[in-house]
């Protein structure tokens, strides 16, 4: 088995059929599909069971979160490579082939990432590899740009978007799996940074192409989205920055936090933002313990990490 494709699902009846149908059209043959269902109540679990008998279905009783679902799939996967795929994505027939060939060409890379376009605007980029900003937030390279060929070359990037990324099995043994306390959002930013601290590279593979709805499950700028994103960004900061990096980017971090307060207060979500910071304090001690483990096992110095960080 070459590739295990893991598709987390929670109430995705509107789009998971599209995702699984596109995988079924793959020209790659040595792969399996694992759907991890997080207690769906919209009939999507039953639909997968009935219409896609070849899919391995894991049934959680409640919504355990994206990170838990990914980890469950990783632990059960049989493939040499493990691919994570959001349930609101349609893949090209040669997507798995291009991912596999790309990773075989780049044995120095622990992970690879996809050319991701918007589903309803197929000439507009959603993500061509994850970025990392100095105030401790991820971002999609090229997001919102029109495709005029500017991202047609293979290149090293900061990290893979877990919505459609591929990882060597050994990657998770060395770096570890996703932190389940993130629940959803920024768990891939965290694992990308942990990978960089361990010296793992990520390759952008432009011929591997998918189409993404984006935040279809939680909803863009919903209260839940804001709470989790803003809490988890601080988790990434606590765990992965050295003391030197804290001081180097302190002004940028504070400026960004202040701008968040102004923006989300104006939107009427200031209370949600405040609760996200309380959520950080509730988890501060375990995150500091994990920070100690991450920092004590890192092999790459700050100057190499800082060269990958967007300072503005």
Residue 259 pLDDT grade (very low, low, confident, very high; cuts 50, 70, 90): very high
Residue 221 pLDDT grade (very low, low, confident, very high; cuts 50, 70, 90): confident
pLDDT, tens digit (0-9, with 9 covering 90-100), for 6-56 = 999 999 999 999 999 999 999 999 999 999 999 999 999 999 999 999 999
Q: 204 and 89: one domain?
A: yes
Contact 6, 83 (CB under 8 A): yes
- Number of domains present in the structure of the chain: 2
pLDDT greater than 90 at residue 165: yes
Average pLDDT over residues 86-111: 97
Q: 251 and 118: one domain?
A: no
Give the count of alpha carbons within 13 A of 20, CB side only.
28
Q: What local confidence, expressed as pLDDT, does residue 311 receive?
A: 86
Contact 159, 132 (CB under 8 A): yes
| Domain edge (last residue) among 161, 177, 212 | 212
Residue 216 pLDDT grade (very low, low, confident, very high; cuts 50, 70, 90): low
Q: 152 and 251: one domain?
A: no
Global pTM value: 0.95
SS3 content of the chain, % helix, strand, coil (to 5): 45, 25, 35
- Lowest pLDDT segment from 184-198, 202-216, 217-231, 287-301: 217-231
Give the structural domain span for 113: 3-212
Residue 214 pLDDT grade (very low, low, confident, very high; cuts 50, 70, 90): confident
Q: 208 and 236: one domain?
A: no
Q: 176 and 27: one domain?
A: yes
Instruction: Determine how many CB atoms are found less than 10 A away from the CB of residue 269.
Output: 21
Share of the chain above pLDDT 70, in %: 98
Contact 36, 5 (CB under 8 A): no
Which residues, other chains included, contact 6 with Cβ-Cβ below 8 Å and sequence gap of 6+?
A: 34, 36, 69, 70, 73, 74, 77, 82, 83, 84, 85
Q: 164 and 240: one domain?
A: no
Whether residue 217 is contained in a domain is answered as no
pLDDT greater than 80 at residue 217: no
Q: 76 and 102: one domain?
A: yes
Whether residue 26 is contained in a domain is answered as yes
Average pLDDT over residues 229-245: 96
| Domain edge (last residue) among 178, 212, 246 | 212
- Domain containing 14 — which CATH number? 3.90.550.10
Hey, is 142 helix, strand or coil? coil
Whether residue 252 is contained in a domain is answered as yes
Q: 257 and 116: one domain?
A: no
Contact 17, 46 (CB under 8 A): no
CA dihedral sign, ordered 59, 65, 66, 69: negative
pLDDT greater than 70 at residue 219: no
**Average pLDDT over the chain, rounded to an integer:** 96
Q: 186 and 269: one domain?
A: no
Whether residue 218 is contained in a domain is answered as no
| Domain edge (last residue) among 212, 235, 268 | 212
Q: 32 and 149: one domain?
A: yes
Integer-rounded Cα Rg, in Å, for the chain is: 19
Q: What local confidence, expressed as pLDDT, does residue 9 receive?
A: 97
Whether residue 10 is contained in a domain is answered as yes
pLDDT, tens digit (0-9, with 9 covering 90-100), for 58-97 = 999 999 999 999 999 999 999 999 999 999 999 999 999 9
For residues 227 and 273, give the distance between their C-alpha atoms in angstroms, rounded to a whole number. Answer: 6
Q: Which residue has the higher pLDDT, 311 or 13?
A: 13
Q: 205 and 301: one domain?
A: no
Average pLDDT over residues 246-269: 95
pLDDT, tens digit (0-9, with 9 covering 90-100), for 126-144 = 999 999 999 999 999 999 9
Q: 31 and 106: one domain?
A: yes
For residues 161 and 159, give the distance between their C-alpha atoms in angstroms, rounded to a whole number. Answer: 7
Residue 149 pLDDT grade (very low, low, confident, very high; cuts 50, 70, 90): very high
Hey, is 276 helix, strand or coil? helix
Q: What local confidence, expressed as pLDDT, does residue 94 receive?
A: 98
DSSP assignment of 61-89, as one string?
A: SS---HHHHHHHHHHH--SSEEEEE-TTE
Residue 312 pLDDT grade (very low, low, confident, very high; cuts 50, 70, 90): confident
Residue 192 pLDDT grade (very low, low, confident, very high; cuts 50, 70, 90): very high
């Amino acid at each position: 088995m070459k590739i295990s494709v893991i598709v987390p699902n929670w109430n995705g009846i509107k789009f998971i059929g599209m995702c699984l149908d596109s995988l079924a059209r793959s020209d790659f043959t040595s792969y399996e599909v694992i759907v991890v269902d997080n207690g769906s109540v919209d009939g999507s679990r039953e639909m997968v069971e009935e219409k896609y008998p070849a899919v391995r279905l894991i049934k959680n009783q409640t919504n355990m979160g994206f990170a838990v679902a990914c980890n469950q799939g990783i632990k059960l996967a049989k493939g040499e490579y493990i691919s994570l795929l959001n349930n609101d994505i349609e893949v090209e027939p040669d997507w798995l082939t291009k991912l596999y060939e790309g990773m075989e060409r780049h044995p120095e890379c622990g992970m690879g990432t996809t050319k991701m376009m918007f589903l309803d605007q197929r000439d507009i980029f959603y993500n061509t590899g994850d970025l990392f900003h100095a105030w401790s937030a991820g971002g999609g390279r090229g997001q919102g740009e029109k495709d005029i060929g500017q991202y047609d070359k293979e290149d090293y990037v900061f990290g893979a978007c877990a919505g459609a990324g591929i990882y060597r099995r050994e990657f998770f043994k060395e770096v570890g799996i996703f932190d389940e306390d993130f629940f959803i959002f920024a768990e891939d930013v965290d694992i990308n940074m942990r990978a960089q601290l361990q010296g793992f590279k990520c390759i952008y593979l432009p011929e591997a192409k998918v189409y993404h709805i984006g935040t279809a499950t939680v909803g863009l700028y919903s209260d839940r989205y804001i709470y989790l994103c803003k809490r988890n960004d601080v988790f990434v900061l606590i765990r992965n920055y050295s003391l030197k990096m804290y001081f180097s980017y302190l002004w940028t971090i504070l400026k960004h936090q202040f701008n968040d307060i102004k923006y989300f207060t104006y939107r009427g979500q200031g209370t949600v933002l405040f609760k996200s910071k309380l959520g950080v304090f509730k988890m501060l001690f375990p995150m500091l313990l994990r920070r100690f483990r991450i920092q004590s096992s890192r092999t790459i110095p700050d100057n190499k990490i800082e060269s990958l960080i967007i300072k503005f």
